[in-house]
Chains A and B, each alone.
Chain A
Amino acid sequence: EVQLLESGGGFVQPGGSLRLSCAASGFTFSSYAMSWVRQAPGKGLEWVSGISGSGGNTYYADSVKGRFTISRDNSKNTLYLQMSSLRAEDTAVYYCAKSVDMTTVDYFDYWGQGTLVTVSS
């Protein structure tokens, strides 16, 4: 059974940093691209960042480019999102999501339960 378990969310002040983790199990982690998708309270879905199965290719939404860094450790079956220079508008539930392809960030057949990040003074 595929499982994605996010952790690392919490309360942080504007300008602060936070690292999210997503522990994967039930599939060959290195064979699939992964993404982070967020959802602000009461709002829709926003794709944040994606990474190929090897980790060699990374992609970002303009809203987070230069502030967030996606990475993965295939030996630990874990996806990360390092977030810095956080803003109030980054407040959201952050989901990790599995793509169906190794190299392409396309659509998402499995999602984690989400972790809430709150940016506020």
Chain B
Amino acid sequence: DIQMTQSPSSLSASVGDRVTITCRASQSISSYLNWYQQKPGKAPNLLIYAASSLQSGVPSRFSGSGSGTDFTLTISSLQPEDFATYYCQQSDSIPITFGQGTRLEIK
């Protein structure tokens, strides 16, 4: 199985900050990497697919990059509604696996 490791596990930031979350795969997954946002009590919401493609309706302050084993999710200017937990997910092979999550909190 492909292991996905996110860092950091939690992060405190302020509105307007630029934030980067990283995700590392245990083996190469090409660009089969996706990012989700989850708010408490809600289902996850797809932000980025195929490493760098922005899902329809997602604000442009979200961006993704990387290939192979190392990936990043960047939020260019944090907004109040961005405080949530973020998960990466690989879709290179079955079983599908997720990172452990990064909790983004207000400083």
Contacts and interface: CB of A to CB of B under 8 A. Distances in A.
Contacts of B49: 100, 107, 109
Given A107-B34, A114-B43, A47 B100 contact: no
A82 interface: no
Nearest to B90: A107
A107 B99 contact: no
B96 to A, nearest CB: 4
A95 B94 CA distance: 18
Interface in A92-114: 95, 100, 104-109, 111-114
B98 A44 contact: yes
B21 to A, nearest CB: 14
B96 A50 contact: yes
Contacts of A46: 98
Q: Is the interface of B mostly helix, strand, loop or mixed?
A: loop
B44 A45 contact: yes
Contact of A47 (B43, B98, B99): B98
Interface residues of A, number: 23
A111 B100 contact: no
A61 B89 CA distance: 15
Most buried by A among B34, B43, B49, B89: B43
B89 to A, nearest CB: 6
A46 B96 CA distance: 8
5 contacts: A44-B99, A44-B100, A47-B98, A100-B49, A105-B94
Interface of B: 1, 32, 34, 36, 38, 43-46, 49, 55, 87, 89, 91, 94-101
